[in-house]
């Protein structure tokens, strides 16, 4: 992969900051809004594994998570996590950045991107 892949929501302010940072520094990237284009379950599993588990991929501080009924907040299997994300794509932390080597990170900060992309 020769282009950074950025996944998020087109109206997310953090995604806007990440895309602006990449653009200003000339880093080629492609953006995918995962509400418009659902991420494949195998890709979500790979991201969760790369990050250290589903809790690292899912934003459990979000309003979407907080508004879930308590019984939905304790998924035990990959399938339950995947069903939850399919129903509520906004649960995925934003943005998900996949670098040219396939490394995955979530969120944006100037410091984190500078360390990663130089």
Q: What is the pLDDT along the chain (118 residues), one digit of tens a residue?
A: 579 999 999 999 999 999 999 999 999 999 999 999 999 999 999 999 999 999 999 999 999 999 999 999 999 999 999 999 999 999 999 999 999 999 999 999 999 999 998 8
The Cα–Cα gap between 34 and 93 comes to 11
Report field, pTM of the whole predicted structure over 0.85: yes
The Cα–Cα gap between 46 and 23 comes to 27
In sequence order, what E strands does 1-118 have?
4-8, 29-33, 96-98, 104-106
Q: Where do we find the tokens 């979530």?
A: 106
**DSSP state letter for 40:** P
């Amino acid at each position: 992969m020769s282009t950074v892949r950025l996944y998020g929501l087109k109206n997310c302010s953090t995604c806007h900051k990440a895309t602006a940072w990449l653009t200003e520094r000339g880093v080629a990237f492609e953006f995918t809004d995962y509400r418009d284009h659902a991420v494949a379950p195998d890709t979500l599993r790979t991201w969760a594994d790369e990050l250290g588990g589903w809790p690292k991929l899912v934003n459990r501080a979000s309003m979407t998570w907080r508004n879930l009924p308590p019984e939905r907040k304790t998924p035990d299997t990959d399938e339950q996590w995947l069903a939850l994300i399919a129903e509520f794509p906004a649960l995925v932390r934003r943005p998900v950045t996949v670098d040219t080597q396939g490394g995955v990170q979530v969120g944006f900060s100037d410091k984190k991107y500078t360390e990663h992309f130089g």
